[in-house]
Structure 1
Amino acid sequence: MSPDLMVMEARIRKELSQLQKLEKELAGILKAGETKMESVRLRAYASILHDFYSGIEKIFITIAREIDQSIPTGEGWHRQLLEQMTLDLPTKRPAVIDAKFAAQLQEYLSFRHRFRNLYGYELQWLKMEDLVKNMGPVLKDFKIYIEKFLGVLSDIMK
């Protein structure tokens, strides 16, 4: 495997580890949960969801920069990057994720956008509850996609 791809794989694996820590942090908050959500806990959930998608996006940016050699720019670049990861680029790489999984991730991207543009007191539990409860399974699926992708890259580089 080339040194550039070794560095890329190391960055991706580091980010996966960070995402795993986020999921554990969220699980701890959920265990301590109460029926009524107080402001601090609500903000903590929102921050974790924000960081979760940001970590996923860092992995996608690494792939776009190192392999695709093309990172979208301008308005809507976050959505374009997510869509780019669903593309099979025959001379460069296979699709990283499929369109169905991208649609799941789009929900986290949309939440992150709202989070960045709201005041904390405007956060609503009902608008983030499913994202919070599904973060663990989504991370599990994401790791499967990424491990498969890294395996294909490793085979190509042999």
Structure 2
Amino acid sequence: MDEGKLAVLRAEVENQVAAIERIFDRVKERRKMTDTVHLESLGYQLHNLYCAFEDLFKIVARTFENEVTSMARYHTELLRRMTLDIKGVRPALFSRETGELLDNLRAFRHFFRHAYAYQLDPRKLAVVLEDALKLEDRFKKEVARFLHLVSSTV
């Protein structure tokens, strides 16, 4: 990868990491309240959190290997691809363990988008929140590792 392309990748990734961090701040703020309105707001922020992670995946995919072509399993495939170390192309963005936490968040996002007639179950939301909060430190370390490995190939 040439230095110009690396600079663009780094800037886009850092910008997206900042967006993810802002959403994490809103998630932590909303977890303190337990009334229905705040639970729904927390659900919305968890939904947004996965969407922001998926935007990060798209930045990496666009830079290295283009888009996922299978639209039937697009979201699952894009996430899976981010846990792959693709020899000669790029290192994995995330570990398999982080990928599993992200997959739980992806599944919640899917439920949240399509659960028009359901109320959020506070117990289930608590499990999603717990997994999401485990991601906060992990993702920053793994993104830094990814950028370091990519930079060392220039």
Q: Common fold, TM-score beyond 0.5?
A: yes
Deviations 1:119-150 (A, max 9, x none): 27522111111222343331210111111000
Name structure 1 gaps, 5 residues minimum: none
Pick aligned residue for 1:71 from 59, 68, 71: 68
CA distance in 2, matches of 1:120, 1:17: 33
Give yes or no for the alignment of 1:50 onto 2:44: no
Report matched runs for 1:88-103 at 5 Å.
88-103=85-100
Match of 1:136 in 2: 133
Give yes or no for the alignment of 1:117 onto 2:108: no
Structure 1 residue runs of 4+, over 3 Å off?
Answer: none
User: Retained in 2: the 8 A contact 1:72–1:81?
Assistant: no
Identity over the aligned pairs, expressed in percent? 25
- The one of the two structures with greater contact order (alpha-carbon pairs below 8 A, sep at least 6) is 1
C-alpha RMSD of matched pairs (Å): 1.6
User: Retained in 2: the 8 A contact 1:67–1:93?
Assistant: yes
Provide closer, same or farther for how the CA distance between residues 50 and 119 of structure 1 changes in structure 2, counting only shifts above 3 A: same
Deviations 1:71-94 (A, max 9, x none): 343111110011111111111111
Q: Normalising by the residue count of structure 2, what TM-score does the alignment of the two structures yield?
A: 0.91
Q: Normalising by the residue count of structure 1, what TM-score does the alignment of the two structures yield?
A: 0.89
CA distance in 2, matches of 1:41, 1:121: 16
How many residues are paired up? 153
Secondary structure (helix, strand or coil) at the match of 2:91 reads: coil
Give yes or no for the alignment of 1:6 onto 2:7: yes
Secondary structure (helix, strand or coil) at the match of 2:56 reads: helix
Match of 1:30 in 2: 31
Name structure 2 gaps, 5 residues minimum: none
